[in-house]
Amino acid sequence: MKPTFSQPPHVDWLTGAFSRTPLLRKTTRLADLSGVFADVSGWRHADPQQVVYDVEMLDTPSGSGELFTGVTHLYPGKVGDEYFMTRGHFHALREQGEVYFGLRGSGLLLLQDEQGEMRLEPVFAGSVHIIPGFTAHRLINTGTEILSALAVWSSNAGHDYAALAGGFAWRVVEEDHQVQIREVQNG
Ligand SMILES: O=P(O)(O)OC[C@H]1O[C@](O)(CO)[C@@H](O)[C@@H]1O
């Protein structure tokens, strides 16, 4: 019997660019991140159209048992002394985990569980991050290049941003040319 082949999607491991495949795209700008950065005045004075991150997702089926695959490209930058980061979220279906694979650049994955336990994992080309269920996650670019990470997660996991309306309990800032953690009171 003659085998039939269907072409799978293709990702460039060096840049995280998908090619030859239908994509869904979402751009998040500073204007979309009201209340996310600590330095409100710095945020107000920055260019609201500045792109903070782009997410490109494969246009694949959703529903129970299906998986989403996407690449986040997080640009370098700061608001005040705080590094550019994704909004961050718990999954609406809390038990759902996620896997991140670092592709390029350097940064951190900030993890916060429902008890407020905090953890940081360095993200770099080749890093693998198992985000357990019940754990909020945020990507932070502490470098000078684009930070790109591939993620795979359950299509029905959903996003719960409201649970983190008060923000994460740690902020990642640059102080004295070094990456530092600032603990947030009542964060
Ligand atoms: O939804 P947020 O917090 O803006 O961040 C987007 C992130 O969420 C995901 O879409 C899925 O968790 C990632 O691909 C991406 O990094």
pLDDT band at 187 (very low <50, low <70, confident <90, very high): very low
Mean pLDDT for the chain overall: 96
| Residue 114 near residue 144 (C-beta atoms within 8 A) | no
Q: Which residues line ligand 1 (CB under 6 A)?
A: 28, 55, 70, 72, 86-89, 98, 139, 151, 153, 159
User: Model confidence over 74-116: pLDDT tens digits?
Assistant: 999 999 999 999 999 999 999 999 999 999 999 999 999 999 9
Parse the chain into domains and list their residue ranges.
Answer: 10-183
CA angle 26, 19, 30 (to 5 degrees): 20
Whether residue 166 has pLDDT greater than 50: yes
User: Model confidence over 17-54: pLDDT tens digits?
Assistant: 998 789 999 999 999 999 999 999 999 999 999 999 99
Give me the percent of the chain exceeding a pLDDT of 70: 99
**pLDDT attached to residue 186:** 65
**10 Å Cβ neighbour count for 16?**
23
Q: What is the pTM of this model?
A: 0.95
The owner of tokens 């998986």 is: 67
Q: Which atom of ligand 1 is nearest to the CA of 57?
A: 14
3-state SS, 58-98, equals ECCCCCCCCEEEEEEEECCCEECCEECECCCEECCCCCCCE
Give me the percent of the chain exceeding a pLDDT of 90: 93
**Which mutation among 11, 27, 55, 147 tests ligand 1's pocket best, with the greatest number of atoms within 8 A of CB?**
55
Edge-first strand listing for the sheet containing 170-175: 78-79, 82-83, 170-175, 178-183
pLDDT band at 142 (very low <50, low <70, confident <90, very high): very high
| Residue 148 near residue 16 (C-beta atoms within 8 A) | yes
In 3D, which of 109, 150, 104, 102 has the Cα closest to residue 132?
109
Cα of 139 vs centre of ligand 1, distance in Å, is: 8
**pLDDT attached to residue 20:** 75
* Bridge partners for 29 per DSSP: 51
User: Model confidence over 154-163: pLDDT tens digits?
Assistant: 999 999 999 9
**pLDDT attached to residue 185:** 80
What ipTM was estimated for this complex? 0.91
**CATH number for domain 10-183, candidates 2.40.400.10, 2.60.120.10, 3.30.2010.10, 3.30.1540.20:** 2.60.120.10
DSSP track, 12-29? -TTT--EESS-EEEEEEE
In 3D, which of 125, 122, 127, 113 has the Cα closest to residue 164?
113
